[in-house]
Amino acid sequence: MELEIRSISLDEAIAIRHQFLKPHLPPDETLSPGDLDPEGVHLGAFLEGTFVGAMSAGPEQCPLLEVVRGSWRLRGFAVYPQHRAKGIGTRLLEEIIASASASSRNLLWGTPRLRIVDLYRRFGFETIGEPFEIEPSGLHQTVVRRF
């Protein structure tokens, strides 16, 4: 099956983020500063042309670190339930890392759900700080990858 990763609009990124990650919040409240930054990246995964997943990244300082120029925050990592566990999330993460690497970012960070942290470790992220609760989605953990 053909999987294509390409840019999507902010509205498309926010729609899937709202649906699968933050259904309890109005879509606008799922925004972070990097989402609105003109440099921000919103990637969609398309399986045989159908939109099946997304991930975003944009400039934002990690609050747990001293200021690092070129810090980018990962947001909105979601795949439609019927298409999970097929490697689509992995492809999105690979593309986001590749685009960060190509554009000389210094640091990627995010606060994924704790259960997903092993996937980030596989791609060179390390954990910093302690796991923390975000109601109602459970424990999250800050992860960081330096370039």
Q: How far apart are CA 67 and CA 120, in angstroms?
A: 22
Helix (H, G, I), strand (E, B) or coil at 24: coil
Cβ 37 to ligand COA shortest distance, Å: 20
Please work out the total of residues on this chain that contact ligand COA, with binding judged by CB under 6 A.
18
Q: Which amino acid is at 46?
A: F
Q: Indicate whether 115 belongs to the interface with ligand COA (CB under 6 A).
A: yes
Please provide residue 35's backbone torsions phi and psi, each rounded to the nearest 5 degrees.
-60, -35
Cβ 3 to ligand COA shortest distance, Å: 10
Closer to ligand COA at the Cβ: 90 or 101?
A: 90
Closer to ligand COA at the Cβ: 84 or 146?
A: 84
Residue 84: C-alpha distances to residues 52, 54, 64, 90 (Å): 9, 12, 31, 10
Encoded tokens for 138: 């459970």
Cβ 104 to ligand COA shortest distance, Å: 25
Task: Name the nearest CA neighbour of 113 among 72, 147, 75.
Answer: 75
Q: Which residues within the stretch 11-50 sit at the binding site for ligand COA (CB under 6 A)?
A: 20-21
Q: Which residues within the stretch 52-111 sit at the binding site for ligand COA (CB under 6 A)?
A: 77-79, 84-90
| C-beta of residue 54 within 8 angstroms of C-beta of residue 13 | yes
Residues that bind ligand COA (CB under 6 A): 20-21, 77-79, 84-90, 112-113, 115-116, 118-119
